């Protein structure tokens, strides 16, 4: 089969599409004919050996895919060959076939194409951040601020915020990205191209600030967010695309009774040294059931801004790295 093959940590652009070994199937695993695979910035870091999680060499990159089951292991009970599914892989999405653990595999409705379904992790992350009681736990009537609101995760946050009954403020740096946030349901959009947004958030909330903030950006954005968060507000750092992790000023947290609740969704898929995928299975599956229901009902519209064939993997990653994407970029297999 054809796929990307990493034999040493290197720049993503130095990879090539090759004939690669077909991975073996274990009893609790599923073999997929990959229809589409999600392209994300973290994959670029993984290939370079700069990510916190390093695969054993050699490997095929990519952790999010959707496709059709072509073979199941002896102990698989939930699925059959022919089922359309999405899956969070340990590795291996950028190939014609991939192996997924049954515990990390989820059905997708017929209304979603495979490229659209690769958004599943963005919706799972946003849903966990916005609904789990120990995280943002957004309530009807509250104000939710979503940063970087044109990425796949951020658009998911906008849509789920509206489903929950929140007033959603979407922050984005370009007119096209702000337009996309409005199309996906944001009540207000703010221009953050000059790096300043706290005054506008405070004005939109009559000086109260946002009750909940979804922040995948970090850095200066996190710092400013603490200046426009409501008393007893909650902020969830879910990444630091700014390149700098936030430094937390404890005095502001104390004075405004702020809750800071981080979320690393990969931990729930087993992407950590102490593999928790089976311990967390019910919690993740409940979220994915909501994704299925929302997609089937048309309550969410997973957005794909561009698809590329596997041979154009470099162009696909460049679109993500250069911040040209709005929503998901996906590789599609022949």
**What confidence tens digit (pLDDT) does each residue in 179-203 have?**
999 999 999 999 998 878 999 999 9
303-323 pLDDT, tens per residue?
999 999 999 999 999 999 998
Residue 193's pLDDT is 84
Q: Which domains does the chain possess?
A: 2-119+302-332 (3.90.180.10), 123-262 (3.40.50.720)
What is the rounded CA–CA span in Å between residue 99 and residue 101? 7
Q: Where are the beta strands (DSSP E) in 173-303?
A: 188-191, 210-215, 229-237, 259-260
- Residue 119 sits at the vertex; the CA angle it makes with 116 and 125, to the nearest 5 degrees, is 160
Residue 108 token pair: 């997708």
| Whole-prediction pTM | 0.95
User: Tokens 């090539």 belong to which residue?
Assistant: 16
Establish how many alpha carbons lie within 13 A of residue 290's alpha carbon, considering only the half-sphere containing its beta carbon: 21
- Residue 275 sits at the vertex; the CA angle it makes with 271 and 277, to the nearest 5 degrees, is 80
* Mean pLDDT score across all residues of the chain: 95
CA proximity to 261, closest of 126, 134, 96:
134
């Amino acid at each position: 089969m054809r796929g990307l093959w990493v034999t040493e940590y290197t720049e993503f652009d130095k990879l090539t599409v090759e004939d690669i070994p077909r991975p073996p199937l274990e009893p609790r695993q599923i073999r997929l004919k990959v229809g589409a695979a999600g392209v994300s910035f973290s994959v670029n870091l993984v290939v370079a050996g700069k990510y916190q999680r390093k695969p054993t060499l050699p490997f095929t990159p990519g952790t999010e895919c959707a496709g059709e089951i072509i073979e199941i292991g002896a102990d698989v009970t939930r699925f059959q060959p022919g089922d359309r599914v999405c899956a969070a892989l340990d590795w291996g999405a950028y190939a014609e076939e991939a192996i997924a653990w049954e515990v990390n595999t989820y059905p997708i409705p017929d209304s979603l194409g495979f490229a659209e379904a690769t958004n599943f992790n963005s919706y799972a992350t946003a849903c966990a951040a916005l609904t789990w009681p120990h995280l943002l736990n957004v309530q009807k009537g509250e104000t939710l601020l979503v940063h970087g609101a044109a990425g796949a995760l951020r658009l998911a946050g906008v849509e789920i915020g509206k489903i929950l009954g929140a007033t959603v403020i979407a922050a984005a740096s370009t007119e096209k990205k702000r337009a996309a946030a409005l199309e996906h349901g944001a009540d207000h959009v703010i221009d953050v191209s000059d790096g300043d947004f706290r005054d506008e958030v405070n004005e939109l909330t009559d000086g109260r600030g946002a009750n909940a903030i979804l922040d995948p950006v970090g850095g200066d954005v996190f710092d400013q967010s603490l200046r426009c968060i409501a008393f007893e507000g909650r902020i969830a750092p879910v990444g630091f695309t700014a390149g700098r992790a936030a430094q937390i000023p404890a005095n502001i947290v104390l004075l405004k009774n702020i809750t800071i609740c981080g979320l690393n969704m990969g931990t729930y898929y087993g992407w950590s040294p102490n593999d928790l995928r089976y311990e967390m299975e019910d919690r993740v599956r409940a979220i994915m059931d909501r994704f299925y229901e929302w997609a089937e009902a048309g309550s969410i519209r997973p957005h794909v801004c561009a698809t590329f064939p596997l041979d154009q993997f470099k162009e696909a990653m460049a679109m993500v790295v250069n911040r040209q994407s709005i929503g998901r970029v996906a590789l599609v297999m022949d």
